[in-house]
Amino acid sequence: MANLKITLTDAAGADLNDHVTIDLFSQQSSNHYQLNQFLRREIVIKQIDLAGGPVYRVMVTPANHQIIQFFTMLNESSTVEYTAPVPVDPGKVVTINGPSFGALASQAQGMMTDAQVPRFNDGVGGFLKGPGLYTALDKYPLLKACFLNIVAKSAATFLQDKTCLDYYRGLLRIEQDRLFIRVSAALVEETANSRSFHPVSDTAHEPLPGYQKVSSYKTFDQYGNLQLTFQRKGSTGDDYLADVDIDDAQGVEHLFQVLRNSVAGPTNPYNIREILLQQEIRVDPHYEFVFAAAAAA
């Protein structure tokens, strides 16, 4: 007989705090074990029969996180340990808890204060700005998550003596997978000459009306790349904007042992958060997920 100790965390390394179904399938016999329980962080499965062989496939099915699986070789009369982070299931997220407007970086506050986003108007011919715009995003958690992801990744991406975030001005458009931000020619030049970026194709990016694409650059991260696609109004002048997005590049599949990633459509910012938290240089967007029947995790 053998024991298996499983330690599961969320992408940030905190307790998983989820109800899970754990299945153990022997790879040499018909032995099958199943447990259903709320798991905070650790569980020890005891008295696993090795008469049919020591190799088991383990599948963990959480309520609010993605399904993961792994193979393990158990040892007679001993406990084998396995530890893994488990990414969130975006479809189970009801909303997010993020920082207050006053807790945002000053540059992020400035992006909101100088915003001109047609989707968010004040009802009297103007635009929602500052705390009003930030509060309005509470109804659109995917948009808010995208904003916080890009702010965090941009603050962690250095050019020379400044970060990308230092060059951002007012928001012009907010989508769940990208932001359009007013910038100056200085950011275009700094990015072109930075060792943090390399030039890439801009064919997948459509310019805003009145603007023309100029260039596009991406960081060298294996997953969770920051991409800046620059656009300019007219052939001269300093009216630039940056189409800013973070590429998942199947990062969830590669960084976590998920059985399958079923999210389709535009890049989901909740997946981006999980990827950023697993990068070699960890980036924390500083928000938590809220699920239908559980507290923040």
Per-residue pLDDT tens digits of the chain, which is 297 residues long? 999 999 999 999 999 999 999 999 999 999 999 999 999 999 999 999 999 899 999 999 999 999 999 999 999 999 999 999 999 999 999 999 999 999 999 999 999 999 999 999 988 989 999 999 999 999 999 999 999 999 999 999 999 889 999 999 999 999 999 999 999 999 999 999 999 999 999 988 999 999 999 999 999 999 999 999 999 998 777 899 999 999 887 778 888 888 766 556 688 999 999 999 999 899 999 999 999 975 455
Angle between helices 269-278 and 141-155 (to 10 degrees): 30
- State the total domains in the chain: 2
Domain-located, residue 24: yes
72: domain CATH number is: 2.60.40.1120
In a shared domain, residues 127 and 157: yes
**Given 86, 115, 150, which residue is the final one in a domain?**
86
Q: Give the tens place of pLDDT for each residue, 156-196.
A: 999 988 999 999 999 999 999 999 999 999 999 999 999 99
Name the residue range of residue 250's domain.
Answer: 91-291
Q: CA-to-CA distance for 187 and 166, rounded, in angstroms?
A: 9
Closest CA to 219 of 142, 270, 283: 283
pTM of the model: 0.93
Q: Give the tens place of pLDDT for each residue, 74-103.
A: 999 999 999 999 999 999 999 999 999 999
Structure-token pair, residue 46: 């005891």
Mode of pairing for the β-strands spanning 197-199 and 211-219: antiparallel
**Given 52, 86, 120, which residue is the final one in a domain?**
86
